[in-house]
Amino acid sequence: MVVLQRVGAAIAVFVLLGAAACERKVMVYSLTYDAYDSSPVIVTEIRLFGDVADYAPLVAYGQANLMAPRGPGANLRFLTTPMPSPVEIQIEWTELLTGRAYTAGVTAELDSFDLRRAVNGYSTAITPVFGPNGLLIIASDPIPTNAETIETNDVVKICGTRLASADKDWRSDTDKDTILGHDIGYAYEFAKPQAGIPECPYLE
Protein backbone atom coordinates (compact mmCIF):
# COMPACT_ATOMS: atom_id res chain seq x y z
CA MET A 1 0.00 0.00 0.00
CA VAL A 2 1.45 3.38 -1.02
CA VAL A 3 1.13 6.26 1.43
CA LEU A 4 0.69 9.77 0.02
CA GLN A 5 0.98 13.18 1.61
CA ARG A 6 -1.21 14.36 4.47
CA VAL A 7 -2.37 17.95 4.17
CA GLY A 8 -1.81 19.83 7.40
CA ALA A 9 0.80 20.27 10.05
CA ALA A 10 1.22 16.60 10.93
CA ILE A 11 3.67 14.33 9.12
CA ALA A 12 2.18 12.09 6.44
CA VAL A 13 1.93 8.58 7.79
CA PHE A 14 -0.39 5.64 7.28
CA VAL A 15 -1.26 5.54 10.99
CA LEU A 16 -1.64 9.04 12.37
CA LEU A 17 -0.65 9.29 16.01
CA GLY A 18 -1.77 12.24 18.12
CA ALA A 19 -0.04 13.53 21.23
CA ALA A 20 -3.02 12.59 23.34
CA ALA A 21 -6.42 10.98 22.94
CA CYS A 22 -9.25 13.26 21.88
CA GLU A 23 -10.97 14.56 25.00
CA ARG A 24 -13.99 15.98 23.15
CA LYS A 25 -16.85 13.52 23.07
CA VAL A 26 -18.02 12.87 19.52
CA MET A 27 -21.60 11.61 19.66
CA VAL A 28 -22.67 12.29 16.04
CA TYR A 29 -20.92 11.70 12.74
CA SER A 30 -21.81 12.04 9.09
CA LEU A 31 -20.70 9.41 6.59
CA THR A 32 -20.70 10.59 2.98
CA TYR A 33 -18.81 9.65 -0.17
CA ASP A 34 -17.18 11.46 -3.07
CA ALA A 35 -14.94 10.67 -6.03
CA TYR A 36 -12.83 12.28 -8.71
CA ASP A 37 -14.84 12.93 -11.85
CA SER A 38 -12.65 10.39 -13.68
CA SER A 39 -13.09 7.63 -11.11
CA PRO A 40 -16.62 6.70 -9.99
CA VAL A 41 -16.57 3.58 -7.82
CA ILE A 42 -18.76 0.91 -6.27
CA VAL A 43 -18.17 0.74 -2.50
CA THR A 44 -18.63 -2.94 -1.71
CA GLU A 45 -17.81 -2.79 1.99
CA ILE A 46 -17.10 -0.16 4.60
CA ARG A 47 -16.46 -0.88 8.27
CA LEU A 48 -15.94 1.47 11.18
CA PHE A 49 -14.16 -0.05 14.18
CA GLY A 50 -14.72 -3.47 12.59
CA ASP A 51 -18.50 -3.09 12.29
CA VAL A 52 -20.44 -2.56 9.07
CA ALA A 53 -20.88 1.20 8.80
CA ASP A 54 -23.19 1.54 5.80
CA TYR A 55 -25.33 -0.35 3.35
CA ALA A 56 -23.30 -1.66 0.41
CA PRO A 57 -22.85 -1.92 -2.48
CA LEU A 58 -23.33 1.76 -3.20
CA VAL A 59 -22.13 4.16 -5.89
CA ALA A 60 -19.73 7.03 -5.20
CA TYR A 61 -19.16 9.66 -7.86
CA GLY A 62 -18.60 13.40 -8.00
CA GLN A 63 -16.05 16.11 -8.73
CA ALA A 64 -13.91 15.91 -5.61
CA ASN A 65 -10.84 16.86 -7.64
CA LEU A 66 -12.52 20.14 -8.62
CA MET A 67 -14.96 21.09 -5.86
CA ALA A 68 -15.00 21.51 -2.08
CA PRO A 69 -16.19 20.78 0.50
CA ARG A 70 -16.34 17.13 -0.43
CA GLY A 71 -19.08 14.64 0.36
CA PRO A 72 -22.26 16.65 -0.06
CA GLY A 73 -25.17 15.73 2.17
CA ALA A 74 -25.53 14.79 5.83
CA ASN A 75 -26.33 11.08 6.44
CA LEU A 76 -26.03 11.54 10.21
CA ARG A 77 -25.34 8.67 12.60
CA PHE A 78 -26.04 9.11 16.32
CA LEU A 79 -23.90 7.23 18.82
CA THR A 80 -24.89 5.92 22.22
CA THR A 81 -21.31 6.08 23.48
CA PRO A 82 -18.55 8.52 22.48
CA MET A 83 -16.58 7.64 19.35
CA PRO A 84 -13.22 6.16 20.40
CA SER A 85 -9.84 7.26 19.15
CA PRO A 86 -8.07 6.25 16.99
CA VAL A 87 -10.73 5.91 14.29
CA GLU A 88 -10.46 2.64 12.34
CA ILE A 89 -11.88 2.43 8.83
CA GLN A 90 -11.77 -0.53 6.43
CA ILE A 91 -13.01 -0.10 2.86
CA GLU A 92 -13.28 -2.26 -0.26
CA TRP A 93 -14.27 -0.72 -3.59
CA THR A 94 -14.29 -1.33 -7.33
CA GLU A 95 -13.60 1.24 -10.02
CA LEU A 96 -16.66 1.46 -12.22
CA LEU A 97 -14.78 2.24 -15.43
CA THR A 98 -12.13 -0.48 -15.08
CA GLY A 99 -13.74 -3.15 -12.89
CA ARG A 100 -10.56 -3.18 -10.77
CA ALA A 101 -11.05 -3.73 -7.02
CA TYR A 102 -9.05 -2.29 -4.13
CA THR A 103 -8.96 -2.50 -0.36
CA ALA A 104 -7.53 -0.25 2.36
CA GLY A 105 -7.50 0.01 6.12
CA VAL A 106 -6.74 3.33 7.78
CA THR A 107 -6.30 4.39 11.38
CA ALA A 108 -6.27 8.04 12.44
CA GLU A 109 -6.59 9.92 15.69
CA LEU A 110 -10.00 11.50 16.18
CA ASP A 111 -8.37 14.92 16.66
CA SER A 112 -7.30 14.74 13.00
CA PHE A 113 -10.95 15.02 11.90
CA ASP A 114 -12.99 18.21 11.80
CA LEU A 115 -14.80 18.41 15.14
CA ARG A 116 -17.92 20.55 15.43
CA ARG A 117 -20.08 21.53 18.37
CA ALA A 118 -23.28 19.48 18.64
CA VAL A 119 -26.21 19.43 21.07
CA ASN A 120 -24.82 16.63 23.20
CA GLY A 121 -21.12 17.05 22.56
CA TYR A 122 -19.32 17.12 19.22
CA SER A 123 -19.90 15.83 15.71
CA THR A 124 -17.49 15.01 12.90
CA ALA A 125 -17.53 14.26 9.19
CA ILE A 126 -16.06 11.13 7.62
CA THR A 127 -15.85 11.25 3.83
CA PRO A 128 -14.06 8.56 1.82
CA VAL A 129 -12.99 10.12 -1.50
CA PHE A 130 -11.92 7.88 -4.38
CA GLY A 131 -9.54 8.60 -7.25
CA PRO A 132 -7.82 6.73 -10.10
CA ASN A 133 -5.70 3.61 -9.53
CA GLY A 134 -6.99 3.02 -6.01
CA LEU A 135 -6.48 6.50 -4.60
CA LEU A 136 -8.32 6.86 -1.28
CA ILE A 137 -8.63 10.03 0.76
CA ILE A 138 -10.37 10.06 4.11
CA ALA A 139 -11.57 13.66 4.16
CA SER A 140 -13.16 15.62 6.97
CA ASP A 141 -13.80 19.05 5.50
CA PRO A 142 -15.02 21.91 7.71
CA ILE A 143 -18.39 23.48 6.97
CA PRO A 144 -17.67 26.67 4.96
CA THR A 145 -18.32 29.92 6.80
CA ASN A 146 -18.54 31.88 3.54
CA ALA A 147 -18.11 31.36 -0.19
CA GLU A 148 -14.59 32.82 -0.18
CA THR A 149 -13.24 30.56 2.58
CA ILE A 150 -13.66 26.88 1.76
CA GLU A 151 -11.18 24.70 3.61
CA THR A 152 -10.36 21.05 3.04
CA ASN A 153 -8.93 18.51 5.46
CA ASP A 154 -7.28 15.33 4.18
CA VAL A 155 -7.00 13.15 7.28
CA VAL A 156 -5.35 10.32 5.33
CA LYS A 157 -4.36 10.01 1.68
CA ILE A 158 -3.16 6.60 0.49
CA CYS A 159 -3.10 4.23 -2.46
CA GLY A 160 -5.21 1.15 -1.81
CA THR A 161 -4.03 -2.43 -2.27
CA ARG A 162 -5.20 -4.27 -5.36
CA LEU A 163 -7.84 -6.92 -4.65
CA ALA A 164 -7.92 -8.73 -7.98
CA SER A 165 -10.10 -11.54 -6.62
CA ALA A 166 -12.94 -9.02 -6.28
CA ASP A 167 -12.64 -7.49 -9.76
CA LYS A 168 -16.05 -7.14 -11.35
CA ASP A 169 -17.80 -5.43 -14.25
CA TRP A 170 -20.72 -3.94 -12.34
CA ARG A 171 -22.17 -2.27 -15.43
CA SER A 172 -23.00 -5.56 -17.14
CA ASP A 173 -24.10 -7.37 -13.98
CA THR A 174 -26.56 -4.89 -12.52
CA ASP A 175 -30.25 -4.61 -13.32
CA LYS A 176 -30.73 -1.11 -14.77
CA ASP A 177 -34.23 -0.94 -13.26
CA THR A 178 -32.89 -1.03 -9.69
CA ILE A 179 -31.70 2.02 -7.74
CA LEU A 180 -28.13 0.69 -7.80
CA GLY A 181 -28.34 0.08 -11.54
CA HIS A 182 -29.68 3.59 -12.12
CA ASP A 183 -26.87 5.11 -10.04
CA ILE A 184 -24.26 3.09 -11.92
CA GLY A 185 -25.63 4.24 -15.26
CA TYR A 186 -25.69 7.87 -14.17
CA ALA A 187 -22.18 7.73 -12.69
CA TYR A 188 -20.84 6.16 -15.88
CA GLU A 189 -22.37 8.92 -18.00
CA PHE A 190 -21.10 11.56 -15.55
CA ALA A 191 -17.48 10.33 -15.67
CA LYS A 192 -14.80 12.40 -17.42
CA PRO A 193 -11.47 11.31 -18.95
CA GLN A 194 -8.47 11.21 -16.63
CA ALA A 195 -6.63 14.56 -16.62
CA GLY A 196 -2.97 14.75 -15.67
CA ILE A 197 -0.80 12.10 -14.03
CA PRO A 198 -2.61 9.90 -11.45
CA GLU A 199 -1.40 10.20 -7.87
CA CYS A 200 -1.33 6.41 -7.45
CA PRO A 201 0.69 4.09 -9.71
CA TYR A 202 -1.06 1.58 -11.94
CA LEU A 203 -0.90 -1.90 -10.40
CA GLU A 204 -1.90 -5.15 -12.10
Give the end-to-end CA distance of the chain in Å, rounded to a whole number.
13
pLDDT at residue number 18: 38
Element (H, E) at 91: strand 87-95
pLDDT at residue number 30: 95
pLDDT at residue number 14: 34
pLDDT at residue number 184: 92
Phi and psi dihedrals of 181, rounded to 5?
A: -60, -40
Beta bridge partners of 158: 3, 136
Tally Cβ neighbours within 10 Å of residue 119.
Answer: 7
Dihedral of the alpha carbons of 34, 36, 37, 42, in degrees to the nearest 10? -60
Grouped pLDDT means (10 residues each) for the chain, 204 residues: 47 35 82 96 97 94 92 87 97 96 97 91 96 97 83 96 96 76 90 89 86
Domain residue limits, the chain: 2-190
Predicted TM-score of the model (pTM):
0.86
